[in-house]
Structure formats: structure tokens, C-alpha cells
Amino acid sequence: MKNFLKLTLFLVSLISAGVLQGVLSPTLAEDVRQRIAVSYGIDHFDQVEQIQYTFNVKVGDKKVNRFWIWEPKVDKVTFKAGNNEEYISYNRKEINDASSEKLKKIDAWFINDNYWLLFPYRVAWDSRVKAEDSGSQALPMGEGSAKCVVVTYPSTGGYTPGDVYELFLDNEYKLTHWVYRRGGSPEPTRITTWEDHRHVGPLTLSLMHQGAEGNFRLWFTNVGVKLVGAAGWMNTN
């Protein structure tokens, strides 16, 4: 009888912790998101005054590149498209319904490109997301398996509400692949690798993502960070 009671209490504790339910409790969900972010250096992000990068993507024969400087402490963005000599600067706090369509489009590009670079940080910053532990799953590309955590964004708010990301993690909680499902679509919108992890000052960033069919490649160049009080930029190594 005592053993039965102990087992019952153990199962109750697992259920309350979210282990048997799959969906993590708020505390455990926050923990797994934080572990991902810590593996990329989020504990040092408050040292960053500016971060710059060029977002490059090639889909089939089409190629796009956009240069950004982001000042996270004040949420100021500077943007330049391709070979265009014009720089556009704005503060994201001032974006609203009355903003020009051009500026809204640029800001949507910023969010897209910034999430590709800084998703491991944003998954910790975005407190409204839900995390579900799917255990060990077969990799979506290639052979083998890895720990899989499913991250779901709220169905309202943002440029693409309801997005779902299946994150495949190594033993250090760094991403190796992800499956992106736009708006919670049952079918994958995009499956890519997360590779070429580099140190950029105190941060770790993944600079290369490739699709399974070989017709999609997304990568970052001109990546650097300027720390608070520093005179110059720290680049990738």
C-alpha cells in the first residue's frame, strides 16, 4: 500500500510538472527557452549597444540581401537594401497604424531577418510563447535524432501570428535544425539547418541555414557587435 501511494504521488508530481502531459508547465517552458538562449550567450546580451548584419537569401535563382544595424537598448533600426546607397533609420517604438506602408514593410523585413539571426534569444524574450517537449525525434533532414521542442506563438499579434517552430537541439541546447510552420499550418513551410555557429564578441550566432532540396540558402555576412562603451566593432571569429 505504501509503495502504491508513493507511486501515485510520483505520477501526480510528474503530471503537475508537465512531464507526462508533453506541454511543459510555465516554469519548465521558461527554463527550456532560457537554456537555449543561455547556450547562445543571452547572459551577455545586455553588453550589446549595436549589432549589424547583412541578411542574404537565395531561393532558386532569386537572391535578396538587406543590411541592418539594430540598437536593442533603444530599439532603433538602420536599414539599407542591396546596392541602394540610401540608409533609412527609424525607431520601432514609433511604428503604428499611421506609419507609411513603406516603413511598415521595412519593419516586417526587419522582424523576419532579425528572427533568423537572433531566434535563440527571442524565444526567451517572447514570454507569451508556449513550449512543448516532444522528446527525441528523427531529424527532419539527414539521419539521426535529437531532442525536439515545439514553440508556438500566440494566435493574435505580430506580423505572422500563430507560427509554430519545431526546434531540434544538440546536447548543449543549440539548434541543429528547425521546422517552421507559418500560422500553425499542419504542413511545414520551411525546413532548414542551423549551422556555422560563430562567436561574435560575447554572443554565439548561427550564420548559415540550408534547405533539404538544395534550392534554399540563407546566410549572414558583415556580422558584428559593438559593446557599450566600446569604440569599435567586434566581428565574427
Residue at 165 is within a domain: yes
State the total domains in the chain: 1
What is the residue range of 75's domain?
25-235
H helix or E strand, kind and range, residue 219:
strand 216-227
Answer yes or no: is 10 within a domain: no
Q: Is 108 within the bounds of a domain?
A: yes
Q: Which range has the top average pLDDT, 9-13, 24-28, 43-47, 155-159?
A: 43-47
Q: Distance between CA atoms of 120 and 195, rounded to whole angstroms?
A: 13
User: Would residue 15 count as lying in a domain?
Assistant: no
126 part of a folded domain: yes
Whether 2 shows a pLDDT value over 50: the answer reads no
Which whole number is the average pLDDT over 190-195? 97
- pLDDT in the model for residue 112: 96
Q: Confirm whether 6 is domain-assigned.
A: no
Burial class (CB in 10 A: 0-12, 13-18, 19+), 157: exposed
CATH number of residue 230's parent domain: 2.50.20
Q: Is residue 19 part of a domain?
A: no
Separation CA 147–CA 164 (nearest Å): 16
Contact 177, 192 (CB under 8 A): yes
Does position 187 have pLDDT exceeding 80, yes or no? yes
pLDDT for residue 158: 82
pTM over 0.75: yes
Q: What is the pLDDT of residue 28?
A: 55
